[in-house]
Structure 1
Amino acid sequence: MSTLLDIAIRLRSLWATLIALLLGAMLIGLAGHDPLTAYAVLFREGFADYWGFANTLVKASPIVLAALAVCLPYRAGLYNIGGEGQIYVGGLCATLVGLSLPDCPPWLGIPLVLASAMIGGAAWAAIAGALKAYRGVNEVIVTLLLNFVAIHIVSYAVGGPLLAEGAPYPFSEQLPANLHLPMLLPQTDAHLGALFGLLFALALHVHFSRTSHGLALDVIGRNPQAARYAGIAVERQIVVAMALGGGLAGLAGGLEIVGLKYRLFHLFSAGYGFDGIVVAFMAGAQPLLVPLAGLLIAALKAGSGSMQRAIGLDGSIVEAILGLVVMTVAAGLAWKPSPASLLAFLRSKPASGEPINFSTQKATP
C-alpha cells in the first residue's frame, strides 16, 4: 500500500495536469461550449491531423530543448529561468555564422551554425553560473534579468547592423538555402530539429544515470558540502551545469533559425523558454518524460486556433488552461505528503474527530 502511495506521490505532476484540464473543462462549460467537443477538436488537431501534428512538432522542438535546459542545471540544485534569453542568443549566433557561410556545403555548414548557437547559449548561461558559484548571486534573478538583456540585444541587431535591405519589419537577411534543415514531414514546416529534443532527452537520461559527471551533479544538488568533502569542484561544476543547460536552449534558438524561419526576427521566440520551465516541472525534471510533456503543451498551443474556428471558443481559454497547469503543477511540487501520513489518513476513522498531521517533505520533482 505504501509503495502505491509513493508512486502516486511521485506522479503528482500528472495528477496536477489532469486537475488543470478538468478546471479548464469547467471554464469551457462556463463559456457556453461542450468541454468534450472542445478537447476532442483540440487534441485531434494536435495529434491526429497530419498538418496539425506537424504544427505540434514545430512548437515542441524548442519547448523540449528549453525544458531540458532546465532539467540539467536542476540536477545540481540550480534553477535556470533564462531559457528564453539563451534561445535569443543562440538564434543570434546562428544567424551571424550562417550569413558568413554562403557557400559552405550543408554537411559542414549546418553543424557549424548549430554549434555556434549552442556555444552562444552556453556562454550566456555561464554568466549566471559564474556569479552563482563565485559571488553567491541568486541564479534565478540573474537568468531572469538576462532574458530581457538578450531580447533587447537581438532587437538592436535586427533593427540595425543585421537589418535586411528594404525590410518592412526588423529582420535579417535570409540564410542561404544550403543551410536550411531538411523537412521531417513533407509539405509541412516540421523539420528534423524535432528529433533533437528526443535524442538529447535520451542522452541526458544516460548521462544522469551512467556517468560520473551525472553523479557529481546529483551529489552537488543534494548536498554541496558533502560534494566538496568528496573532492568535487563544486564551483566549477555549477558553471558547467549552467553552461550545458544554456547550450541546449541556444540549440533551440539555432534550430528555429535554420529549420523554420531562415532569418533572425525581432521577438522570434514565442515564449518557448518560459514554456520549457513548465514542461520541465510537469515532467518532474526527468529527461525521458520531457518529450511527452512537451508534446502535450505544444498540442495545446497548436490546437487552440482550430478549436476557435471549429466551435467558436476564444483562444484565450487555452492560455487560461496553460496558466492552470502552471498553478497546479507548482502546488503539487510545493506540497509533498509522506506515504505514511497519507496511509494514516486513509485508515483513520471519520468519527474520531482527531486531526491528521500531513507531515511534508522537501518538494522534489
Structure 2
Amino acid sequence: MTAPTAPAGRSPAPVTPVGHALLRAGRASFLLHRRSLLVGTALALLLATAVVASLCVGESFVAPGEVVRVLLGLPSPDELVVGTLRLPRLVTGLLVGAAFGVSGALIQTVARNPLASPDVIGVTHGAGAATVAAMTFGVTSYTLMPYVSVAGGLAAAALVYALAWRRGLSAARFVLVGIGISVALGSLTRLFVTKGEYLVAQQAKVWLTGSLNGRGWDQAAPLATVLLVCVPCVLWAARAQRAAAFDDDTAVALGSRLDRDRLGMGVLGVVLASVATGAAGPVDFVALLAPQIARRLTRTPHIPLLSSALTGALIVVVADLLARRLLSPVELPVGVFTALVGAPYLMWLIVSTRSSRSGGTA
C-alpha cells in the first residue's frame, strides 16, 4: 500500500507533537505545551491568591474588597496601609522571587546540574560581599546598589568559571569550586561587617539573611527597570535553552551555537541573581527550588522559565507572609523560611543524585 498524499497544490498538514497544541494567528503559528500552560495558569492563580492574602494580613486586617479597590486606584480608607506600607514590599518580593527563579533555571540549564544555583555556586555571595563592602565604606545610594551587586556577582561567576575550567567545564567540578568560592566570600563578607560602624553592621547582618522588611519603591523601581530591560534576553534564552537541553552533538546538529548560547544564558542568570540580591539580600535556595519544582510540575525536557519565575515569586511571597505573621509581633527575615525548606531539599538532592550515579555503575 502507498501512503496517502496531500492533494495537488496543498502542502501537507503540520504534525503536532504529542502533548502540544498548535495556535495560529494569520500566517504565524505557536506551539504550546498543554501541561505547561495548565501549570502556568494554576501557578498564576495561586500567586494571585497569595498576593491578596499578603495585602490583607498584617497588624490590622484589610478586607479583600478594599485591597482590590486600592489596586484598581479607587478611593479607600485603607489606601495608606495597603498602597503605601504593604504594596511596595510585596512588589519587591514578587520581582525578587521571579528573578531568582529565572536565574536558577538558566544556570542549571548551562551547568546541566540541579545543584547549580546562584546561591550554591557563589554568585549571590559575590553580590552580597560587594554590597556589604559598599555599605561599609559609606555607599548608601539605592540607585548604585544594583550596579554594585551585578559587578560582585559577575566577578564571582568569572572566578568560579576560571577555576573550574580544565579543557572543558565539568558540572561536578563547577559546583564544588562554586561552593568553595561561596565559603571564601562569606568569610570576606563577615570581615567587612566587623570593620563597619555598629549601625551599618546591624543593617548588613539583617540584609545578609535575605529580608523584605522596610523594602519600598526605592528598591523595587531599579529592580523592575533591570528586569524590564532583560525581558528580550529572557525570550531569547527560552528559545536557546531548548537546544541546550540536548547533548552537545545533537545540539550542534540542530544548528545551535552552544558556547555562545551557554555564555549568554550564564551571564543573564548571573545578572538576574545579582540585582535580586542587591534588592533584598541573598534569599537562599529560591533559585535552587523554583526551577526543579517547575520542571517536575510541567514534566518538560527543559526547565520552563515562565513557570520557574511564577514558582519563585510564589515561594518568596508565601515565605514573607509566614515571616511576618507566624511569630507576630516579631518579624523574621524571609530568608529564614526559604532556608528551612531549601536546606533539607539540598541534602535530599545530593543524596538522591549520588544514589542514582552509584546505582548506574557496574
User: TM range, normalised to the smaller chain?
Assistant: 0.5 to 0.7
Q: Deviations over 1:266-304 (max 9, x none)?
A: xx53xx141122223344443334443333222212222
Contact (CA 8 Å) 2:129, 2:185: kept in 1 or not? no
2:310 to 273, 285, 292: 292
Q: CA deviation at 1:323?
A: 3.7
Q: TM-score, normalised by structure 2?
A: 0.55
Q: CA deviation at 1:156?
A: 1.5
Residue 253 in 1 paired to residue 287 in 2? no
User: What's the counterpart of residue 110 of structure 1?
Assistant: 143
Q: Percent identity?
A: 14
User: What's the counterpart of residue 153 of structure 2?
Assistant: 121
Q: Deviations over 1:298-340 (max 9, x none)?
A: 2212222554378xxx999x9599849x97xx99xx9xxxxxx
> 2:203 & 2:339 partners in 1: Cα distance?
32
Contact (CA 8 Å) 1:90, 1:120: kept in 2 or not? yes
Query: How big is the alpha-carbon RMSD for the aligned residues of Structure 1 and Structure 2?
Result: 5.2
Contact (CA 8 Å) 1:60, 1:295: kept in 2 or not? yes
Residues 66, 114 of structure 1: CA spacing in aligned structure 2 closer, same or farther, 3 A cutoff? same
Contact (CA 8 Å) 1:63, 1:294: kept in 2 or not? yes
1:274 to 285, 288, 291: 285
1:195 to 224, 229, 232: 224
User: What's the counterpart of residue 89 of structure 1?
Assistant: 126
Q: CA deviation at 1:95?
A: 5.3
User: What's the counterpart of residue 3 of structure 2?
Assistant: none
Structure 2 gap segments, 5+ residues each: 1-17, 22-32, 59-63, 68-81, 206-214, 296-302, 353-362
> 1:7 & 1:231 partners in 2: Cα distance?
26
User: What's the counterpart of residue 209 of structure 2?
Assistant: none
Q: Deviations over 1:22-43 (max 9, x none)?
A: xxxxxxxxxxxxxxxx999667
Q: CA deviation at 1:155?
A: 1.0
> 1:201 & 1:283 partners in 2: Cα distance?
21
User: What's the counterpart of residue 45 of structure 1?
Assistant: 57
User: What's the counterpart of residue 57 of structure 1?
Assistant: 91
Residues 290, 43 of structure 1: CA spacing in aligned structure 2 closer, same or farther, 3 A cutoff? farther
Q: CA deviation at 1:136?
A: 2.3
Higher share of residues assigned helix: 1
> 1:12 & 1:140 partners in 2: Cα distance?
30
| Paired residues for 1:156-175 under 5 Å | 156-160=191-195, 163-164=196-197, 169=202, 171=204
> 2:161 & 2:319 partners in 1: Cα distance?
32
Residues 11, 144 of structure 1: CA spacing in aligned structure 2 closer, same or farther, 3 A cutoff? farther
> 1:202 & 1:98 partners in 2: Cα distance?
29
- Give 3-state SS (helix, strand or coil) of 1:81's partner: coil
User: What's the counterpart of residue 10 of structure 2?
Assistant: none
- Give 3-state SS (helix, strand or coil) of 2:117's partner: coil
* Paired amino acid for 2:143: I
| Paired residues for 1:60-75 under 5 Å | 60-75=94-109
Q: CA deviation at 1:164?
A: 2.2
Q: CA deviation at 1:201?
A: 6.3
* Paired amino acid for 2:274: G
Q: TM-score, normalised by structure 1?
A: 0.54
Residues 306, 65 of structure 1: CA spacing in aligned structure 2 closer, same or farther, 3 A cutoff? closer
Contact (CA 8 Å) 2:103, 2:269: kept in 1 or not? yes
Contact (CA 8 Å) 2:285, 2:338: kept in 1 or not? no
Contact (CA 8 Å) 1:76, 1:218: kept in 2 or not? no
> 2:285 & 2:146 partners in 1: Cα distance?
21
Q: CA deviation at 1:250?
A: 1.8
> 2:236 & 2:312 partners in 1: Cα distance?
20
